A and B are shown apart, each in its own frame.
Chain A
Amino acid sequence: MITEITVEDLPALETGSQLTCSSAGSTHFDGTLANIAELLRERGPVRMVGLDELDGDALCVAIGAIGGFGPMLELPPSGDEAVSAVRALEARLGKRVDAIVSLNASGPNAFAPVAAAAALGLPLVDCDGMGRVLPLMSQTTYALAGLPIGPLAAASLAGDVMVLDTSTARSELLLRSAMQAAGGFMLCASYPSIVDQLAKCAIRGSTSRVVEAGRLLRGAPDRGTLLAGLASIAGARVLGGGRVVELGHATRTVGARQYPAVPTSVVVREPGPDGRMIRLEGQSEIFLAVADGVVSAAVPDVLCLLDQREPHIVGLERVAVGNDVDVLVMPADPMWHSRAGLALAGPRAFGFPVEHPREVVS
């Protein structure tokens, strides 16, 4: 169990966060991390606690950004955006926030809560609400357990702050318009809840897992050790591997436009005459793996591409025809495999009218 996050942990945190973020992959957020490192140097390490270590009525908010990675590259967040958002939310709630939880400890959203906790001087709870990246803020185990997303507050990179007080469904819509108008990125403080509520629905140990995976990706002496380590940390298995032979934007799914993403399709061809064709369908994230026409893995389980030459994740923003990759699949938290979980974040929720492989088996 990791009990604090220091400046030295940031590289592992960044690398590990890529594993469950197939969209960004190994995009480097050097500017953001430089800012957060500066913050941690000023304020000291962030204390990380388990949910059980806090009082049952301690108030937590989930920190996580919505929007694209591009804006973070053009205008690296300073790390203290959460301060204005959390202060605004506290003003609306009339209560002080006691601890920070992660909206989803994946991709850049794995380090946003660390920065928030540092900037606010609060402990970070080692848990999150997705265990991966999902396109909608309402696709969380928090929402699955009935926790309301709001009231919530959001801050843009240009310094705008807003508080939103409406239903979960409308929050999503309003927030997306604001995010677009703000340039494609907003840092949100949402799901204000007490520890007793979160205890039932949070995915635990998320940030620790990210750091451990990061250390492994950065330090594994060889491929075998890496894959064995990923299997033990995240239950990862290799679905198949080969060369990327096709990339496409033409396979739009019905209703795709409701998602803040661009459909992308990647075909990986296994070597040899009997090699399978693994088609990965996604909208920013990979949602479906179809091997020779068989749905082999599907959201909410995590799919990502691992470079065969170097231990790093190949993101959908960077993948190119000719890349040699392994397709990794990691099971989602069991909460996601419930009927309600699959309804909220299973393949059908993304316009793929197929059953999740687990449904087919059962």
Chain B
Amino acid sequence: MNRKDVVEQLSVAELVQFGPLGQAKVFAGEELDRQVSGVVLVAELEEIRQCEPHSAVVLHGAAAQGAWSLESALRLAWERNASCVIAPADIAVGNPTAQLAERLRVPLFVVADPARHALELSAAVADTDAARARLTARCAVLFGERGTLRDIVGVINIEVPGVQVALIAEDGHVLAGRAAADHAEGKRRVEVHVPGPDGRPWARLVGQLAAWSPSWALTVRTVLGLARAPLAACVGRAWLRPVRQAASDRVLLDLLLGEDGDDEGARAAGWSVDGNHVAVFLQVREAGDADQEAMAPRVLAAWQEAFPHLPLIPRGEGWVSWWTGAESPDAVAGLLRPYLQATRPVQLAAGVGLPGEGVAGLRRSVDEARLAAAVAGRRDGETVELFGALGPRAVLACIPVPDVAAAARVALADLLAAPDADVLLTALVALLDCAGSTGQAAARLGVHRNTVLSRIERIRARGVDLDSPEQRLALHLACYSLLSAT
């Protein structure tokens, strides 16, 4: 169908997307597909009875006196098949009002100044095409000003609020944006291919529309299309450089951290050698050497994007970097977390050492970071461990987990034979970690305390003596190893 032939009305969703309701707080926002035929500013509740169907009803004055009048307005709007109700923010919308809006399926927006919004809404409803053209132009300008993948995708996610967009590599890995976008199906999914610097297909830009209309989908497709060229350019710059550099960096680092502490090359490379360092060690979770090689480009490229001023240098089974200056280990860990997310699907574990002065301090901090990373590697997900926070627990990293676990499987055979052995084991570790406090253990496991109590009962029933002090250390170690080994 030729859209020029259709007199198309904006949907409620588009009023949200184009701005007039962009900042509004929304209730019952599941049903935003309705078209809006016009905007009615209502000062008296009775006026709603005269509204055309599909109106956006804007309440002010006596019609917006309080929760009761808002509920009456919702009811009248529902009777008149209005598309949405817009109310002033000085009415506190409580649970009952929100629930009524949901039951009637009448979207309710709360804005600071309804009268002003009525004007903007009327303008938007009157000139749909102009509103859409302005949006597209604005996005084009902003793409030109952004230099990274994340920023370019971010423009779409910020400026086109009803749309979630993600840049997804051909292997399904999300490079930037909101992963949820990839779940879109049917008409609500808009997708364009993005070529790599070599011209071959490299990634897809996927958008999920909160609401669909033919012309709105077209507008979004146009915006995504406009983003393709800047994205491709960006990739070309970022891709290959770091990998070549890494090999030579490895040699320099070995020299720097070696017995002699040869810092000449490091200084020439522009690394910080003097001052107070906090070292970071990254390692790939559950990976062999070959995997590490294969994953290096992604790890390094993401690092460059996140921390362009810091080198990331291969060392042993992972990579090393360090912050020099005032950053505390805690702060460094905070900086690392978003990066660890960005390298997905590669799962990295990170360790952070204590601060150390000069080359000697850096050497120690790197060793500490490596121990901490080893502990982190035994946990699920992307984790950062601080050596300072681990204290003696860092020693656990050196335990031959597989051997201890094998012994534990024999010693705790009864417990492990339970149908819910995993659950019991987890509860046992939590309890031991919390020094026997069922309350804390419950909080840590996210279950009710009674649940913990009942699990303890079952653990005891399996012959585990929780109360014997001389057993406790061995039990703790056994459980720790079992959990780490699985």
A residues sitting closer than 8 Å to B (CB atoms) are 245-246, 248, 250-254, 263, 265, 267, 269, 277, 279, 281, 288, 290, 292-295, 351-355
Contact = CB atoms under 8 A, between A and B. Distances in A.
Nearest to B90: A250
B68 A265 contact: yes
A248 B94 contact: yes
27 contacts: A245-B95, A250-B92, A251-B65, A251-B66, A251-B68, A251-B91, A252-B66, A253-B66, A254-B65, A265-B66, A265-B67, A265-B68, A267-B94, A269-B96, A277-B99, A279-B67, A279-B96, A290-B68, A293-B72, A293-B76, A293-B78, A293-B100, A351-B65, A352-B68, A353-B45, A353-B65, A354-B72
A294 B72 contact: yes
Interface in B386-404: none
Contacts of B65: 251, 253-254, 351-353
A293 B44 contact: no
A254 B90 CA distance: 13
Contacts of A279: 67-68, 71, 96
B247 interface: no
B209 to A, nearest CB: 31
User: Which of B73, B94, B99, B104 has the most C-beta atoms of chain A within 10 angstroms of its own C-beta?
Assistant: B94
B75 A248 contact: no
Contacts of A246: 94-96
Report, nearest first, the 3 A-B pairs whose CB atoms are least far apart: A293-B75, A251-B66, A293-B71
B75 A292 contact: yes
Given A246-B95, A277-B99, A353-B44, A293 B74 contact: yes
B101 to A, nearest CB: 9
A71 B99 CA distance: 39
Contact of B96 (A252, A277, A295, A352): A277
B62 interface: yes
A354 B66 contact: no
A251 B62 contact: no
Chain B's interface: helix, strand, loop or mixed, by majority?
A: helix
Contacts of A267: 94, 96
A147 to B, nearest CB: 32
B96 A281 contact: no
Interface in B47-104: 62-63, 65-69, 71-76, 78, 91-92, 94-96, 99-100, 103-104
Given A246-B95, A248-B92, A352-B65, 4 more contacts: A246-B94, A251-B91, A279-B68, A294-B72
B46 interface: yes
Nearest to A281: B68
Contact of B100 (A292, A352, A353): A292
A245 B95 CA distance: 9
B281 to A, nearest CB: 54
A351 B65 CA distance: 9
A251 B67 CA distance: 6
Contacts of B71: 277, 279, 290, 292-293
A253 B70 CA distance: 12
Contact of B66 (A281, A293, A294): A281
A292 to B, nearest CB: 6
Nearest to A269: B96
A269 B78 CA distance: 20
A69 B96 CA distance: 30
A22 B83 CA distance: 38
Contacts of B94: 246, 248, 267
A265 B66 CA distance: 10
Given A246-B96, A277-B100, A355 B68 contact: no
Nearest to A273: B103
Contacts of A254: 62, 65
A248 B95 contact: no
B68 A288 contact: yes
Contacts of B73: 293
A295 B68 CA distance: 9
A16 to B, nearest CB: 29
Interface string B286-325: 0000000000000000000000000000000000000000
Contact of A295 (B66, B72, B103): B72
User: Which of B66, B67, B73 has the most C-beta atoms of chain A within 10 angstroms of its own C-beta?
Assistant: B66
Given A254-B62, A277-B100, A292-B100, A248 B46 contact: no
Interface string B97-114: 001100110000000000
User: Which of A254, A279, A288, A294 has the most C-beta atoms of chain B within 10 angstroms of its own C-beta?
Assistant: A279
Nearest to A348: B62
Contacts of B92: 248, 250-251
A245 B96 contact: yes
B82 to A, nearest CB: 13
A288 B91 CA distance: 18
Contacts of B62: 254, 353
Contacts of A295: 72
A281 B67 CA distance: 9
Nearest to A245: B96
A253 B72 CA distance: 14
A293 B46 CA distance: 13
A246 B76 CA distance: 23
Contacts of A294: 72, 75
A295 B75 CA distance: 10
Interface in B402-460: none
B99 A354 contact: no
Contacts of A245: 95-96
A267 B63 CA distance: 20
A356 B103 CA distance: 25
Nearest to A289: B68
Contacts of B66: 250-253, 263, 265, 281
A178 to B, nearest CB: 31
Contacts of B76: 293
A245 to B, nearest CB: 7
User: Which of B62, B68, B78, B103 has the most C-beta atoms of chain A within 10 angstroms of its own C-beta?
Assistant: B68
Nearest to B72: A293
Contacts of B95: 245-246
B207 to A, nearest CB: 36
Contacts of B75: 292-294
User: Which of A251, A253, A265 has the most C-beta atoms of chain B within 10 angstroms of its own C-beta?
Assistant: A251
A357 to B, nearest CB: 12
Contacts of B68: 251, 265, 279, 281, 288, 290, 352
B67 A353 contact: no
Nearest to B43: A353
User: Which of B45, B46, B65, B103 has the most C-beta atoms of chain A within 10 angstroms of its own C-beta?
Assistant: B65
B65 to A, nearest CB: 5
A36 B94 CA distance: 45
Nearest to B78: A293
